[in-house]
């Protein structure tokens, strides 16, 4: 099991380890030629990371601990601005872009809270796929079934592998249609997609200004909650000795009081046997613990594909951002990314205005259906991670897998909701994510439900039923 932020803070507080030592270890793993560091990272910051770690150790020695991230090495997705360098977003076409004049707002918050940024992680070019494949910088593979080299999930591909393989304690990703939750599911991690408006996106290269949200991939729900407190500004330290994020933001709930909903339609369509079996087993554990689980029809979910048939917000907003560059430099793009953006140019302003109105009605209808329920449960992804080679070899396989893998997570982005992906498989088995989702601004409640479910699944995860 991966160390949690609480584990690491205990080691730092006891003097068993220092921030410099943790940072040196993380950088050494990332730079090890025998590992995946070259595919996981697009840029490393060894000198500035070690300087920040030294400063953190000095502060801790004087009694100052700014947050649960104090002194811990983290990584950030390649779409975040860092002052003084161009933001590449997994592309080659932006190498000659002007350098950023300031670091992204969310990353500044993390640095102010004491986090040590060690590097930028690889991603799907411009975040426009859920698979994690990048022809420019290579594709890291999921730690599970390493010989088969399965996709890590995207678009925050390097982010997931970085945490799973100990290159960073936390990775910060973006989630427009599942890009935090999908790699969390495929890499056996916990990931949190907050309500989009809660975390500032200034300085993060957009895919969709309407749907983009920023969140953590980490070892546990408590880790995600601590990072979210900093990203959202709710846990920015006000007291050096007892910052909000160190006091904890979670309140576990009574299992017998949970009222949970599972959609009867869409979310298990085309699911493989492993996901069906693992999901059903997790639900049974929750029921046995006393949770009330209802299967309900959500017909709006089945309508989303047709609503987005012309490209949706993601397609329209990506086309607006890239249209001039694609007119002259399309050959420098990943062709599978370029083709998806270009096909959305047919969407008109009237289509876009209609989509805004449709979404408002769609959200209102689902919120009514979910009223009185604590959370919505579904598989994060309906299949286990496919092999990278199979998807690289065939456009048909690539796009079919991309549609299926994005389908469940993107429901929550269109809902303007929030969601966790929790590992629900037994350790050593194929990773499967359990999505715990809620409507807009229910983030704290979803995190509380998530930590309750996490505890209920503990014995299943460790292979000790009834322990």
So which residues are the catalytic ones?
A: 77, 155, 179
Which H or E element spans position 218? strand 213-218
With 0-12 / 13-18 / 19 or more C-beta atoms within 10 angstroms meaning exposed / middle / buried, residue 256 is: exposed
Cβ atoms 414, 257 nearer than 8 A: no
For residue 212, CA distances in Å to 37, 94, 197, 306, 398 come to 27, 20, 9, 21, 23
Output the 3-class SS for 149-193. CECCCCCCHHHHHHHHCCCCCEEEEEECCCCCHHHHHHHCCEEEE
Question: Could you please report the per-residue DSSP string of 278-343?
Answer: HHHHHHHHHHHTT-EEEEE--HHHHHHHHHTTT-HHHHHHHHHHHHHHHHHHGGGS-HHHHHHHHG
With 0-12 / 13-18 / 19 or more C-beta atoms within 10 angstroms meaning exposed / middle / buried, residue 24 is: middle
Cβ atoms 184, 142 nearer than 8 A: no
Please give the backbone phi and psi of residue 449, each rounded to the nearest 5 degrees, phi first: -60, -40
Tokens of 233: 């500004």
Helix%, strand%, coil% for the chain, nearest 5:
45, 15, 40
Tokens of 32: 């090890």
The 10 Å Cβ neighbour count of residue 302 is 14
Question: Could you please report the per-residue DSSP string of 379-425?
Answer: ESSSSPPPBHHHHHH-HHHHHHHHHHHHHHHHHHHHTT-EEEEEE-S
Sheet holding 418-423, edge to edge: 41-44, 116-121, 73-77, 170-175, 213-218, 190-193, 418-423, 433-438, 375-379, 259-263, 292-296
Check the CA dihedral 420-383-125-144 and report its sign: positive
Measured at the alpha carbon of residue 395, what is the angle toward residues 412 and 186, in degrees to the nearest 5?
45
- Over its C-alpha atoms, the chain yields an Rg (Å, rounded) of 21
């Amino acid at each position: 099991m991966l160390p949690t932020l609480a584990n690491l803070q205990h080691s730092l507080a006891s003097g068993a380890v220092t921030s410099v030592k943790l940072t040196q270890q993380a950088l050494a793993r990332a730079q090890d030629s025998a590992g995946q560091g070259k595919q996981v990272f697009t840029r490393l910051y060894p000198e500035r990371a070690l300087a920040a770690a030294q400063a953190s150790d000095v502060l801790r020695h004087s009694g100052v601990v700014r947050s649960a991230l104090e002194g811990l090495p983290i990584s950030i997705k390649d779409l975040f601005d860092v002052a003084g360098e161009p933001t590449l977003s997994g592309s080659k076409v932006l190498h000659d872009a002007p350098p950023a004049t300031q670091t992204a707002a969310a990353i500044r918050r993390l640095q102010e809270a004491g986090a040590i940024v060690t590097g930028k992680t690889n991603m799907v070019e411009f975040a426009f796929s859920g698979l994690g494949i990048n022809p420019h910088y290579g594709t890291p593979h999921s730690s599970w079934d390493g010989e088969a080299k399965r996709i890590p999930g995207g678009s925050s591909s390097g982010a997931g592998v970085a945490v799973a393989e100990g290159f960073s304690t936390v990775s910060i990703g973006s989630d427009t249609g599942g890009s935090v939750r999908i790699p969390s599911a495929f890499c056996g991690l916990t990931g949190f997609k907050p309500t989009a408006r809660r975390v500032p996106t200034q300085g993060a290269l957009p895919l969709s200004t309407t749907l983009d949200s920023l969140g953590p991939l980490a070892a546990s729900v408590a880790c995600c909650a601590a990072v979210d407190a900093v990203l959202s500004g709710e846990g920015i330290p006000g007291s050096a000795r007892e910052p909000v994020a160190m006091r904890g933001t979670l309140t576990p709930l009574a299992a017998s009081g949970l009222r949970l909903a599972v959609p009867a339609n869409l979310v298990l369509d085309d699911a493989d046997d492993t996901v069906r079996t693992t999901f059903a087993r997790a639900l049974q554990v929750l029921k046995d613990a006393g949770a009330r689980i209802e299967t309900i029809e959500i017909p709006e979910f089945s309508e989303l594909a047709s609503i987005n048939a012309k490209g949706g917000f993601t397609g329209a907003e990506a086309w607006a951002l890239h249209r001039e560059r694609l007119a002259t430099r399309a050959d420098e793009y990943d062709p599978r990314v370029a083709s998806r953006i270009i096909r959305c140019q047919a969407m008109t302003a009237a289509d876009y205005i209609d989509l805004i109105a449709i979404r408002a009605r769609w959200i209102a209808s689902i919120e009514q259906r979910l009223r009185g329920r604590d959370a919505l449960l579904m598989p994060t992804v309906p299949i286990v991670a496919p092999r990278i080679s199979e998807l690289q070899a065939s456009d048909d396989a690539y796009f079919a897998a991309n549609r299926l893998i994005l389908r469940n997570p993107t429901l929550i982005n269109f809902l303007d909701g929030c969601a966790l992906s929790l590992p629900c498989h037994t350790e050593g088995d194929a990773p499967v994510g359990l999505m715990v989702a809620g409507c807009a601004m229910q983030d704290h409640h979803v995190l509380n439900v998530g930590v309750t479910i996490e505890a209920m699944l503990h014995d299943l995860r460790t292979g000790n039923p009834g322990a």
